[in-house]
Amino acid sequence: MNKQSKEISRIKFLLGLVILLLGIFAILFWPAPTPKPSVPIKEHPILQKEDKIETKEIAAPEKQEPAKVTLRSSLPGRWYPANAETLNKQIAGFFQKAESKSIDDVIALILPHAGYQFSGQTAASGLKTTNKKYKRVVIIGPTHYVHMEEMLSVPRVTHYETPLGQIPLDVEFIDKLLEYSVFQNMQQAHKYEHSVQIEIPLLQHSQGDFELVPIVAGTCSLEAINKAGTILRSLVDDQTLVIASSDFVHYGPNYGYMPFRKNIPEQIEELDMGAYEYIGNLDSKGFLEYKRRTGATICGYVPIAILLSMLDKPVKAELIKYTTSGELTGDFTNSVSYLSAAFSGSWPEKAKAKKERQSTVLSKSDKKELLKLARRSLVYYLEKGRVPQPSELDVTISDRVKSPRAAFVTLTSVPKRYKVRLGAPETPRLRGCIGDIFPRQPLYKSVITNAINAGVNDRRFPPVTKAECNDIAIEISALTAPEPVASPDDIRIGIDGVVLNKDGRSAVYLPQVAPGQGWDVNQMLTQLSLKAGLPADAWKEGASFLVFQAVVFGEER
């Protein structure tokens, strides 16, 4: 009997153990219910404490004489001859053939920017109107390769180089422009931009020695155009020539612009002369309205509008030469118009440009609204499949976040079922991180764009779904404009983000990456070299470095 009782007790114990184990397995592995799509997305509270990265403005180092940095033109051999002798001969021929009369007191020009075989003669005709030698030449050209909004870019180099030699930049003038938020340094905008570079050999031939201020303009509102014009007007003097670089109507299927199919040459000219009528009247606003109304494909409309905003009567405009590629080739299937114009007189009394030194400071309210903007933009895109306007999201956009500034948006995920059922500490995992290094649009637009891109376009991860959004926390890194440093010794761990460039390859780390991984400068640059697809020690020789700081703020996780 005792033996039988013991056996029964043992069986009961084993059955109880099995039931207990089954219960544990059920708790651990039973799937958590999936949130219903109709459940509203919760707004996470804002993390007011920003202990990951210092958000104070970093004091700029004392200015030193810039080391010589040369940007070599990308146009020789394609847009004009690469051989200096051949190029000089071609340009001399343009000037010899030009029938332009000399005009006194030329202060500005509109010149075309196609290859010399198409627009070189028209450009030389414009330049031949002045015999004056200028100390400074400001060239404003439109961007063709790098998207920029509400901003203009100036380069951080000291010289431009063409087959005819090197031209020094007026770095002091450029530094003054960079004191205003509408002017930024977007280095990629200058490397291949023909609208500025095409004018330089012509100026080298006609002007000889001068200092250059190259400016590349993005798409701009009337407000940004007037602001840029006021700033430039406050800095130019009677020793300054300003050139607005622009081609005029681009007609044909190659340009997606065919508003008419008959009498094409005559109608193209009518469109161009309609635009010039406003130019001749120095009417910037009217010129922009004409372009909007007609859809005229005038690529340099922003540079022209900026120039017009700088001028006032009695400055006189004069059309110098007009032609089209259709006329030159005998084929109007696709045609681009070229025009040169001269403006004579004197610069109006200097306008006072309000000093607005760029700041890294964002208010608590700005940060709260930007985080709200990031979350609502992502959810809106997931629901409707298009990028929203801020007005559709009930978000306040302050003037501070309208200034051009780059941003990264980072998404981290902590699934609730792991936190609740396992009782484990929160271990956020990266769900997406995309951003800009260089400022190419207002900060709020950068946040909208990169919140969506981090959610659906980070190739390392599957796209975020709407159902996941409750489990995702958002962090924003608002960056300062990158600046070059002479050596790795100038990089500050925990303060500086770093862009490494070498042999056409580049990679970037945000300021918070190195301290988060426990790296020193050498370790960080080793990893950055590997990230760029270079050998681990590639940073030690022949590499260049840009540094930036970040204001980092995020939602509570």
Report DSSP letters for 272-305, one per residue.
HHHHHHHHHTT-HHHHHHHHHHH----TTHHHHH
Tokens of 376: 């609502």
For residue 268, pLDDT over 50 is answered with yes
pTM above 0.85, yes or no: no
CA distance 391 to 152: 25
**Which band of pLDDT confidence, cut at 50, 70 and 90, is reported for residue 526?**
very high
pLDDT digits (tens, 9 = 90+) for 5-49: 556 566 666 666 656 555 555 444 444 443 333 334 444 444 333
What per-residue confidence (pLDDT) applies to 188? 85
Mean pLDDT over the full length of the chain:
87
For residue 200, pLDDT over 90 is answered with yes
Buried (b) or exposed (e) across 335-357, using 16+ Cβ within 10 A? bbbbbbbbbbbebeeebebeeee
**3 state SS of 318:** strand
Question: Domains (ranges, CATH) in the chain?
Answer: 70-344 (3.40.830.10), 364-554 (3.30.700.20)
CA distance 307 to 110: 9
Q: Which of 359-363, 399-403, 421-425, 455-459 has the lowest mean pLDDT?
A: 421-425
CA distance 272 to 350: 31
CA distance 203 to 307: 19
**Which band of pLDDT confidence, cut at 50, 70 and 90, is reported for residue 57?**
very low
β-strand pairing of 505-509 with 472-479: unpaired
CA distance 415 to 219: 42
**3 state SS of 189:** helix
How far is it between the farthest Cα atoms of the chain? 130
CA distance 411 to 375: 10
Of 127, 136, 212, nearest to 167 by C-alpha is 212
Contacts of 218 (CB under 8 A, 6+ apart): 143, 147, 148, 149, 150, 151, 152, 153, 302, 440
CA–CA distance from 326 to each of 3, 250, 330, 406 (Å)? 111, 10, 5, 41
